[in-house]
Amino acid sequence: MSATPVSHSGFPAARSAEDIARNLAAVRARIAAACARAGRDPAEVRLLPVSKTVEEARIRMAHAAGLSEFGENKVQEAREKAEAMADLPIAWSVIGHLQTNKAKFVARFAAEFQALDSLKLAEALDRRLQIEGRSLDVFVQINSSGEASKYGLAPEYAPAFLRELSALPALKVRGLMTLALFSADAARVCACFRLMRNLRDRLHDSAPDGVTLDELSMGMSGDYEIAIEEGATVVRVGQAIFGARPLPDSHYWPGGAP
Ligand SMILES: *Cc1c(COP(=O)(O)O)cnc(C)c1O
């Protein structure tokens, strides 16, 4: 393993279309390099740009730079952006914790939901999707760090949860998602990603009907290179493309960097 976690303060600002294109090219080069180190084909790794707190004008610049999907942590912000940019062919991925009473919004506009971690929420989403006549790609969020503060299912509950999900026809389970430990210690970050890779591999061949587990969504601006070396198929990258965020991570998940 040669990548190390990056501190969360040093991301280059991106105010113009040129800045965004430059940052994007740098991220893609790093993805390609991580793939080369791991003997992987870069086409196996999907870059999901995360646009939370990024205002409409800069998302439009990013779209003009060739990006056509964006991840958002909060459903209200995602909804507002989806409406404001309904003129663009953008696929919105909701990647943050969702309250059951907001399932109806995700069922309406989202192309994907990556933070599924309770049966109650899954049932609410399935019911709402059926009303909308839609289906939705979902990822099951796993707590890979063992921190009590993190969202996601404990790994040992994943098999039973997948069986329950297979009974919900509007949910198309694609894989697992996690946030690794926030640490400058690469070995500890790496351990979270390995746990995910092993869990996915173990569940893959015995996945219940209607559930596929090809995808592993793991890695963010600070640790996506490590995640790729450990098998990520989706990396969720915000600040390395759009610049450092004004809001601390603790606004988005419990226990995030203050
Ligand atoms: C914000 C966020 C990311 C991206 O974090 P960056 O540090 O901006 O790369 C990834 N996953 C989730 C769930 C997020 O909320």
The full set of domains in the chain, from first to last, is 17-243 (3.20.20.10)
Q: How confident is the model at residue 91 (pLDDT cuts 50, 70, 90)?
A: very high
Instruction: Tell me which residue has its CA closest to atom 6 in ligand 1.
Output: 238
Amino acid 4: pLDDT: 55
Instruction: Tell me which residue has its CA closest to atom 14 in ligand 1.
Output: 73
221 CA: nearest ligand 1 atom = 9
Amino acid 1: pLDDT: 42
The answer for 173, left when phi > 0, alpha when psi is -120 to 50, beta otherwise, is beta
**Tens digits of residue pLDDT in 52-89:** 999 999 999 999 999 999 999 999 999 999 999 999 99
The answer for 172, left when phi > 0, alpha when psi is -120 to 50, beta otherwise, is beta
Structure tokens that stand for 207 in this block: 């996945």
Q: Is 10 helix (H, G, I), strand (E, B) or coil?
A: coil
Closest C-alpha to 221, from 2, 1, 4, 6: 6
Computed over every residue of the chain, the mean pLDDT equals 94
pLDDT at 46 over 60: yes
Instruction: Quote the pTM value.
Output: 0.94
Q: How far is the CA of 51 from the centre of ligand 1 (A)?
A: 9
Residue 253: other Cβ atoms inside 10 A: 18
Q: Is the CB of 48 under 6 A from ligand 1?
A: no
Residue 67: other Cβ atoms inside 10 A: 18
